[in-house]
A and B are shown apart, each in its own frame.
Chain A
């Protein structure tokens, strides 16, 4: 290769390496800000602030969903396999929300560390299965990938 071109090649490589390093380190420094939600453990450990709008992510513990019959009010418990947080919500739930499914909840923690939700989103996993395959699976297999094999403490 011509020496001038080789020099330009090195310059281009230096540009890519330098910019990638700068941006990479910045992204690394901001890694906790880049998280979309707090896992349940960080809420229980007190890392998440009280009375401020936060997002929590976890799996809905089977058997904990209680819906009021006379109004739009749902209570359920989410877990990350280690800790649990209770959620109360007065709103419409997305279609794929359910027991053993992952959910991301926006809300404020009250003094009892109950998450008073303003929005509940369902998190879909990377599994794409046709209905006939799903119906042949056990209930545990059908649950969200993130919630598979989770110890619900029961």
Chain B
């Protein structure tokens, strides 16, 4: 049986589905008995949610958009 330290170290990889079958089974066995690590797992999900929440576009400032559009036009007309 893995201990809490090993279990916590595997939680994000578990959520990413990057563990092999044995590692996953060991973790799930631990989670079945450890309330603390279940809390850690839920918190890991919440932190991932925090990052995911920031995924929206930040919006290109109008002046930047104009410069980038001009740069694109310049590229198509260039000999690069």
Whether chains A and B associate is no
Q: Which residues of B contact A (CB under 8 A)?
A: none
Q: Which residues of A contact B (CB under 8 A)?
A: none
